[in-house]
Amino acid sequence: MSSGSDARRRVLIGVGNSWQSDDGAGLAVAQRLRELVPDGVEVLELEGEPVTLVEAWAGAHEAYVVDAVSSGAMPGTVHRVDAADAPLPRELSTASTHLFGIGESVELARSLGRLPERLVVYGIEAAQISAGRELSPEALAGVEEAARRLLEELDRG
């Protein structure tokens, strides 16, 4: 848990690359939810390496991170993991489309004492990672499901 966190700050972070087809799934979720989240939830889009997550959630009490994954599950599958208390499952932590994945970012923050008190990671299983801005139909379905589930979770919080 991070010391000095703001008990009121809640953040939703979409991670990805909008120029690499399904790798833009996390960004698409953030874009869909930007105007729908409850008051007090900050929505960020993070393109580039997930190691910058440590700064993006700095001072947050609650963080929700959404990214594309390639774990071998059916494309469009939405994975949800509470990552504040334990490392991400191996099949998700090593399945990032980035050089430095979400799992490594979470563990780096954990070792530095910079995790939010509540950290939930949503992974959307990619069907394709290739040049282009269009999401596959499977990833698009995963984006819609993840957005719906996140909005429900944020409304309960």
Domain segments of the chain: what residues? 6-156
pLDDT of residue 93: 58
pLDDT of residue 95: 47
**DSSP per-residue codes, 88-140:** PPHHHHT-BSSSS-HHHHHHHHHHHT---SEEEEEEEE-S---SBSPPPHHHH
List per-residue pLDDT tens for the chain, 157 residues long.
434 445 689 999 999 988 889 999 999 999 999 999 999 999 999 987 767 899 999 999 999 999 999 888 999 999 999 999 888 887 675 545 555 678 888 988 999 999 999 999 999 999 998 888 899 999 999 999 999 999 999 999 7
**128-147 b/e (C-beta count within 10 Å ≥ 16 → b):** bbeeeeebbebbbbbbbbbb
- Count other Cβ atoms within 10 Å, centred on residue 99: 9
- Count other Cβ atoms within 10 Å, centred on residue 74: 9
Nearest to 111 by CA among 99, 120, 103: 103
C-alpha dihedral sign at 21, 137, 72, 25? positive
pTM score: 0.89
CATH label, 6-156, candidates 3.40.50.1450, 3.40.50.261, 3.30.230.10, 1.20.1070.10? 3.40.50.1450
